[in-house]
Structure formats: C-alpha cells, structure tokens
Amino acid sequence: MWFKQLKFFVIDPKQIPDTQTLSEALSEHSFTPIEGLMKISEGFEFATSFNEDFVFSVDGSDSICLKKEERILPASAINELVAEKIKEIENKQARSVGRKERQQIKDDVIDDLIPRALSKTAYTHLIFARKHGFILVDRANANQAENVLSHLRESLGSLNARTIDTVESPTSLMTQWLLDGVADGSFELDQFCELKSENGQVSTVRISGQDLSSDEVIQHVKNGKNVTQLGLIWQDKISFVLSHDFSLKKIRFLDILQEDADESDDLPSLTASIQLLMSENLCVMLKELIEHLGGLTGK
C-alpha cells in the first residue's frame, strides 16, 4: 500500500527485534473487536490480507498494522437526550438539576447509547526501515503517529524512536528555497505553498496551481512571511507537501515508480514490490532532505 502521508522517526536498527520475535510480540497485543460498553479498541492486525502474520518483511523493511475501532456517538444526539431528561426531572420534581447530577445523566445516556452505536474502523501502517534506521508511519498527525509508537513500546517493552531534529528548521529552508525560486539537489518546487507572517497578527496565504518562482509569490517572503508548507518533487519519482513540523502530506508516487511496481503479477509480489520501492525511495529522499537541513542535531 502506497503511503499518502508520513511522519518518520530515527531509530537504532539494533533495537528492532528480528521479524519472528517482533511478530510474536505484536500477536500478544492483537486487535479485539469492541464489545459491551467499550468505546474504543486498538491492537495490531495482520500486516497483509493474504498472510496471517503480524509482520510483512521485504529485504530489510518490516511492515506492521495497527487497527482501531471506535464507537460513533454524535455530541448533538447526546446533548439532546441529556436536555430531555433534565427537562423531565425539572418538570416532574419542580427542582433544578445541579452540575454533578447533569454529568451523571450524561454518563448514563452515553452508557445507554454505546451498545447501539455504529463504529468506525481505521488502520495505521508502519514500516521499520532497518537498513536506513528510520520508522515510517503513514500518518502526518504527530499524536496519531506517536500513538502507534506507544502501542509498539507496550508490546516490545521499550523503543527509543527519536523525532527529527535538524540543524536548520524546515521553515527556514523552505522559505529560502521559495525566495531563491528554486530548490536544491534532487528537489524541485511544485505548485503549492503556505506562508504565514511572524508579526503578532497571524496572516496566512495559500498558493496553489501557480509557478512558485514568480515575482508575485516571492514578494510574500520579501514582505516578511515564512513558508510553513511547500510542495516539492523529488527525482521525478515522488511529489509531496513538506510541512514545518517535518511531516509529509499529499504524497504521490509518480509514474516511474508505479510502473516498476505494476510489473508484479500477483498480490503478494505486488505488495512486496510496493513496500520495497516505497520504503527505499522515501528513505533516500529523507536522507537528502536532512542533509539540506544541515544534518541531525544528535539530541
């Protein structure tokens, strides 16, 4: 499965147990469906649809999957039922309902609704890129990515995965590239950016579908705005939006990679090909990006 977003972490490959040990550890924390009054359930799921194993390993990259099931309880529906019950008490008993009683009524309403509520399911995929010392998470949101790592730490006992901290900030580099009208190395500017002002009053400008090297766009930087998101293309293979927090959004793997993967003629081979091409190219790209940012700080 091609990732569409990315949050990544640095890890010592020696910390990662071998594939069999990793699979056994994840199986001890496997997903169990919601039942009774449970509001949410999270656990590890089989890594692929064709193999009942919690790890799918391909040439130094191990993929895993965290499954989440959550009850859908609309706040508007809860508040409406709570208001009805409070009104009924006030009318029948001729008294007002206090704060603690209101909270108890709300808790009772939720407990009554949970067994009948619909649920939604979400999957988060993660790859241990052993050869490169990265963990790749198919999430751009920091809290969601960290949630997967928390489940991994619980399963493995410990996991020292570090967030990316570089000498130069992504905002500084993106702003300089936009000011120059050109990116460095294997990167080139795409047609999207977001800029924000540094003064006390926040001002945001989003530009899409335009030549970012134009004077009109560059003038925003000259007027004091910094780039917080920037569309980039790497080696004509991957397009994405780099964010100020080092997350990647709107990732697209371009034709040159898609065609290589499509040469596979069955689902296991296709899955392996996608995982290998995706993880290898993402890791090489990330390493180059880190170099442009002056390298890791070592914190």
Asked if the structure places residue 256 within a domain, the reply is: yes
Asked if the structure places residue 26 within a domain, the reply is: yes
Asked if the structure places residue 59 within a domain, the reply is: yes
Asked if the structure places residue 2 within a domain, the reply is: no
pLDDT of residue 298: 67
pLDDT of residue 200: 60
Greater confidence (82 vs 53) lies with 53
Check whether residue 64 and residue 128 sit in a common domain: yes
Check whether residue 141 and residue 254 sit in a common domain: no
pLDDT of residue 14: 85
pLDDT of residue 55: 96
Mean pLDDT of 27-56: 92
Asked if the structure places residue 164 within a domain, the reply is: no
pLDDT of residue 75: 85
Check whether residue 175 and residue 239 sit in a common domain: yes
Mean pLDDT of 214-223: 88
**Under DSSP, is residue 101 helix (H, G, I), strand (E, B) or coil?**
helix
Cβ atoms within 10 Å of 101's Cβ, excluding its own: 13
**Which of 83, 99, 115 is the endpoint of a domain?**
115
Asked if the structure places residue 178 within a domain, the reply is: yes
**Which of 156, 186, 208 is the endpoint of a domain?**
156
pLDDT at 148 over 90: yes
Percent of the chain residues topping a pLDDT of 70: 98
Q: What are the structure tokens assigned to 216, written together?
A: 């009109």
Name the residue range of residue 151's domain. Answer: 7-71+116-156
Closest C-alpha among 272, 232, 266 to residue 252? 232
What digits encode the pLDDT tens for the residues 253-277?
Answer: 988 778 877 777 788 899 999 999 9
When pLDDT is cut at 50, 70 and 90, the band that residue 252 belongs to is very high
| Range among 93-97, 216-220, 244-248 with highest mean pLDDT value | 244-248
pLDDT of residue 16: 85
Closest C-alpha among 250, 251, 244, 245 to residue 285? 251
Please state, in angstroms and rounded to a whole number, the distance separating the CA atoms of residues 200 and 50.
Answer: 54
pLDDT of residue 91: 86
What digits encode the pLDDT tens for the residues 168-198?
Answer: 999 999 999 999 999 999 999 999 999 998 7
**Which of 100, 129, 156 is the endpoint of a domain?**
156
Check whether residue 191 and residue 108 sit in a common domain: no
Residue 228 φ then ψ, to 5°: -105, -20
pLDDT of residue 64: 97
Asked if the structure places residue 161 within a domain, the reply is: no
Asked if the structure places residue 165 within a domain, the reply is: no
Check whether residue 93 and residue 124 sit in a common domain: no
Check whether residue 52 and residue 123 sit in a common domain: yes
Check whether residue 108 and residue 130 sit in a common domain: no
Check whether residue 11 and residue 151 sit in a common domain: yes
The domain total for the chain is: 3
Check whether residue 111 and residue 125 sit in a common domain: no
Which of these ranges, 45-49, 64-68, 116-120, 292-296, has the smallest mean pLDDT? 116-120
Cβ atoms within 10 Å of 262's Cβ, excluding its own: 12
Check whether residue 95 and residue 228 sit in a common domain: no
Check whether residue 79 and residue 133 sit in a common domain: no
**What does R_g of the chain's alpha carbons equal in angstroms?**
24
When pLDDT is cut at 50, 70 and 90, the band that residue 226 belongs to is very high
pLDDT at 299 over 60: no
The whole-model pTM stands at 0.85
* HSE of 140, CA atoms in CB hemisphere, 13 A: 16
pLDDT of residue 208: 93
pLDDT at 66 over 90: yes
Mean pLDDT of 28-40: 89
Q: What are the structure tokens assigned to 12, written together?
A: 């010592």
Check whether residue 129 and residue 42 sit in a common domain: yes
Please state, in angstroms and rounded to a whole number, the distance separating the CA atoms of residues 195 and 284.
Answer: 27
Residue 124 φ then ψ, to 5°: -120, 120
